[in-house]
Amino acid sequence: MREILQSIVDGTPGAKGAVLMGFDGIAVDQALAEGAEADIESMAMEFSFRFIELKQAAESLEMGELTDICIKAVHGTFLVRVITEEFFVALLLEHPGHFGKGRWMLRSTANALRDTL
């Protein structure tokens, strides 16, 4: 699992780290870029409870299941891909991170991560 997360980080220019986490806020595993000083686990834990609310809102508005979330802020971008009903993978990008490449890496590794759970 860590190898998959590390491949996401290594394959995305500007990535600080990736984490696989449950919507309950418990991290399964994470990988950081060399020299990165990001607390991606705490970030994902704080956002995880808001993601539950977003999932419920999307369903109540008949948008269907939530698949991706993007949070752009002054000091970084947090990309999220929902893996299962209980888990998501998140990638933290510094600016100028490669947003499109990060989304592609999350999407292309989702099945492999799902298989490891």
The string of pLDDT tens digits covering residues 25-65 is 999 999 999 988 888 999 999 999 899 999 999 999 999 88
Summarize the confidence of residues 8-34 as an average pLDDT. 95
Q: Are 1 and 7 in contact (CB under 8 A)?
A: no
Position 38 scores a pLDDT of 82
CA pair distance 83, 59, nearest whole angstrom: 17
Q: What are phi and psi of 58, to 5 degrees?
A: -60, -40
Is 95 a residue whose pLDDT tops 80? no
User: What pLDDT, on the 0 to 100 scale, is given for residue 35?
Assistant: 85
Per-residue pLDDT averaged across 4-15, rounded? Answer: 96
Superfamily of domain 2-116: Dynein light chain 2a, cytoplasmic (3.30.450.30)
What single DSSP character describes residue 59? H
Q: Which of 67, 7, 3 is nearest to 29 (CA)?
A: 3
How sure is the predictor about 110, in pLDDT bands with cuts at 50, 70 and 90? very high
- Identity of residue 3: E
How far, in Å, CA of 86 to CA of 22, rounded?
Answer: 5
Tell me how many degrees the CA angle 94-32-1 measures, rounded to the nearest 5. Answer: 125
Tell me, yes or no, if the pTM score tops 0.85.
yes
